[in-house]
């Protein structure tokens, strides 16, 4: 069970993300530095209690039209081997000390827990409360078993989001793509050309003040 500490981080999460976001291919450039505000999200527990796992939503108000981003993050007490390119930054946590913050889709603990959520084996937790489930988050997968594909090209960032190669555990192990939506749209899903086999949906606070709901992650069949 992850314990939510009421303490400080220096730099803050938003300060780290302000520097990191413009380097992403899916970032909607405004010509100005991002002006970020928290807009929602949820967490998953690491059964080993070592890695913090957060699905964060932030809204960038620096442009003419505010944009909400889905940012999966992991928090570790030591560097993750081979993940230098996925490092968002480091921060001093008021209770836990120095933390390494990563783009979660590159973190094997995050990926394993995300697959567990899709299969109904992990319970989503409230973003800011300890041991409190978040029933507004839903996960589903139409199939038997999911496993991530390893290798240098298994994770790919593109203009519409991030894709992870996965396989099913049934039969010959059908090749699928796990598409992480980065720019959130209400009642939408990751932009892709394949049929959905599953998804994670959740809510966030939209720039106008109402609640939006859409797909944070979509599992799709590969074309061809």
pLDDT digits (tens, 9 = 90+) for 198-213: 999 999 999 878 999 9
Calculate mean pLDDT across residues 2-13: 76
The DSSP 8-state label assigned to residue 193 in this structure reads: S
Give pLDDT, residue 202.
97
Give pLDDT, residue 195.
74
Backbone φ and ψ of 113, nearest 5°: -70, -35
Do 146 and 76 meet the contact criterion of CB atoms below 8 Å apart?
no
Kindly report the average pLDDT of the chain as a whole number.
90
The more confident residue out of 185 and 108 is 108
pLDDT digits (tens, 9 = 90+) for 54-93: 999 999 999 999 999 999 999 999 999 999 999 999 999 8
Calculate mean pLDDT across residues 92-121: 93
Give pLDDT, residue 159.
92
* Alpha carbon distance 35, 18 (integer Å): 7
| Confidence bin at 149 (pLDDT 50/70/90) | confident
Whether 103 has a pLDDT exceeding 50, the answer reads yes
| Confidence bin at 188 (pLDDT 50/70/90) | very low
Whether 182 has a pLDDT exceeding 60, the answer reads yes
* Alpha carbon distance 15, 20 (integer Å): 9
Give pLDDT, residue 68.
96
Maximum distance among all Cα pairs of the chain, rounded to whole angstroms? 51
* Pairs from 1-5 (Cβ < 8 Å, separation ≥ 24): 1/45, 1/49, 1/130, 1/131, 2/43, 2/45, 2/46, 2/49, 2/52, 2/53, 2/125, 2/130, 3/130, 4/128, 4/129, 4/130, 5/93, 5/94, 5/95, 5/96
Give pLDDT, residue 143.
83
Give the whole-number percent of the chain exceeding pLDDT 70.
Answer: 91
Do 43 and 53 meet the contact criterion of CB atoms below 8 Å apart?
yes
Give the whole-number percent of the chain exceeding pLDDT 90.
Answer: 72
């Amino acid at each position: 069970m992850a314990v939510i500490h009421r303490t400080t981080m220096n730099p803050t999460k938003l300060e780290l993300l302000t520097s990191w976001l413009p380097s992403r291919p899916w970032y909607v450039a405004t010509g100005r530095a991002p002006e970020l505000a928290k807009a929602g999200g949820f967490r998953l527990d690491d059964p080993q209690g070592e890695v913090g796992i957060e699905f964060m939503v932030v809204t960038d108000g620096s442009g003419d039209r505010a944009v909400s981003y889905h940012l999966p993050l992991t928090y570790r007490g030591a560097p993750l081997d081979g993940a230098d390119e996925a490092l968002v930054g480091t921060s001093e946590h008021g209770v836990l000390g120095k933390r390494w913050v990563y783009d979660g889709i590159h973190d094997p603990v995050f990926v394993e827990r995300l697959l567990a959520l899709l299969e109904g084996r992990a319970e989503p937790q409230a973003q800011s409360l300890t041991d409190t489930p978040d029933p507004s988050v839903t996960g589903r997968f139409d199939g038997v078993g999911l496993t991530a594909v390893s290798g240098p090209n298994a994770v790919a960032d593109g203009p519409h989001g991030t894709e992870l190669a996965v396989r099913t555990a049934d039969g010959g192990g059908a090749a699928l793509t796990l598409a992480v939506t980065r720019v959130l749209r209400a009642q939408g899903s990751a932009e892709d050309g394949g049929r959905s086999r599953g998804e994670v949906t959740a809510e966030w606070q939209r720039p106008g003040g109402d609640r939006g709901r859409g797909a944070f992650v979509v599992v799709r069949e590969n074309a061809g």
